[in-house]
Amino acid sequence: MGRVGKKYRKAKEVVAAKPSYPLPEAVAAVAKNAFAKFDETVELAMRLGVDPKHADQMVRGTVVLPHGLGGKSKKVLVIASGEKLKEAQDAGADHVGGDDMVQKIQEGWLDFDAVVATPEMMKSVGRLGKVLGPRGLMPNPKTGTVTFEVGKAVREIKAGKVEFRVDKTAIIHAPSARFRSGREAARERQDADRHRDQGQAGGRQGSLREVDRAVVDDGPRGAGGPRLRRGTRLRAG
């Protein structure tokens, strides 16, 4: 590991005082030790008892966080036809079109953060696999981005829908919350402490639990071994 700063070492020493934390204490600890000048995203890491080499043990899905992630809203492109184009526009899609959008992407245009497509358009969208696939933008029924309900899909993405997928080491990394920098940070630390002391699930606890629940629900039913092999870990950065 490369060199790390004093603030990082100090924060690490503080949280390392205990081997594990209940969720309320973990959220409060992350908030208390956040030191960056930008809004820090809290990432949830879970090691699962699955073998990702087997297709039937792949864990992948999405979850709409109850409070979103905040920050900049994603630019959503919807590739559809007919009345679904208007439905997407009404829902707040940034770009809407059909084969013209496919052609535009083939020419190098990539000014969007998420893509939603209707099933009948996937024949055309499939030609974009080499462009969208490596960027994690390829529409997929599992993540709700290949659907006739384009309006719902757009609203969920705009609200802060998070996608998760187990990696080759059987670990899931998913952004789950955000701590604001500056003046808002002090208030959020106080809120986290209050929820911890009262044993309540604050906004970020609720978001983290939603991700945890979604992973369990979307996990393979036939996979051997325990679903969660190692406790949840939080990291801000």
pLDDT digits (tens, 9 = 90+) for 48-90: 888 888 888 888 888 877 666 666 778 999 999 999 999 999 9
What span, in angstroms and rounded, lies between the C-alpha atoms of 100 and 78? 12
Measure the CA dihedral 154/180/40/35, to 10°: 180
Domains within the chain, CATH numbers bracketed: 21-69+162-236 (3.30.190.20), 76-158 (3.40.50.790)
pLDDT of residue 100: 97
CA 206 and chain centroid, separation: 14
Q: Where are the alpha helices (DSSP H) in 40-178?
A: 83-91, 99-106, 122-125, 129-132, 150-159
What span, in angstroms and rounded, lies between the C-alpha atoms of 153 and 144? 7
What span, in angstroms and rounded, lies between the C-alpha atoms of 125 and 132? 9
Tokens matching residue 136: 């994690």
Q: Of 18, 21, 26, 8, give the one whose Cα is nearest residue 204.
A: 26
Q: Which residue stretches of the chain have pLDDT < 70?
A: 1-2, 66-71, 179-208, 216-237
pLDDT of residue 124: 96
Tokens matching residue 212: 């945890």
pLDDT of residue 185: 44
Contact 219, 50 (CB under 8 A): yes
Q: How many CA atoms lie within 13 A of 39 on its CB side?
A: 11
CB atoms within 10 A of CB 83: 8
pLDDT of residue 181: 53
pLDDT of residue 230: 52
pLDDT of residue 183: 44
DSSP-derived secondary structure letter, 39: P
The H or E element containing residue 120 is none
